[in-house]
């Protein structure tokens, strides 16, 4: 299994737009074969940092998801909305693997 951790720097004045975007991606990742572990939005401390975690059985499955998402109608509409509204300033992806007993 591979887990993607994303750290977002967001526009704190567009938090509701980012939250709607996040809720839509929860469904898309699940529909395209992943397991979404949720988005984590600012509460205390920095008001412009958010996180998410989602997993795929393998890096190859994640790459397949990325390829399909590039032509998926719903994900393409979300990317277009992001480009228009600019509620994400930047993001960093890190890939993690679990350590299990």
- Tell me which DSSP letter residue 43 carries: -
Tell me if 96 sits within 8 A of 52, measured CB to CB.
no
pLDDT (tens digit per residue) in 20-61: 999 999 999 999 999 999 999 988 877 999 999 999 999 999
Residue 100's pLDDT is 81
Domain residue limits, the chain: 1-6+13-70
How far is it, in rounded angstroms, from Cα 56 to Cα 36? 9
Fold exhibited by the domain 1-6+13-70:
Alpha-Beta Plaits (3.30.70)
Is pLDDT of 83 > 80? yes
Strands 88-96 and 49-56: unpaired
Give the mean pLDDT of the chain. 95
pTM of the model: 0.89
Of all residues in the chain, what percent carry a pLDDT higher than 70?
100
């Amino acid at each position: 299994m591979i887990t993607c951790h994303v750290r977002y720097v967001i526009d704190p004045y567009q938090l509701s737009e980012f939250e709607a975007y996040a809720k839509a991606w929860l469904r898309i990742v699940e529909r395209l074969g992943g397991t979404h572990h949720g988005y984590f939005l600012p509460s205390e401390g920095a008001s412009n940092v958010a996180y998410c975690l989602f997993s795929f059985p393998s890096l190859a499955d994640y790459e397949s998801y990325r390829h399909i998402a590039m032509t998926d109608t719903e994900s393409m509409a979300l990317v277009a909305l992001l480009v228009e509204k600019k509620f994400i300033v930047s993001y960093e992806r890190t890939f993690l693997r679990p350590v299990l007993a």
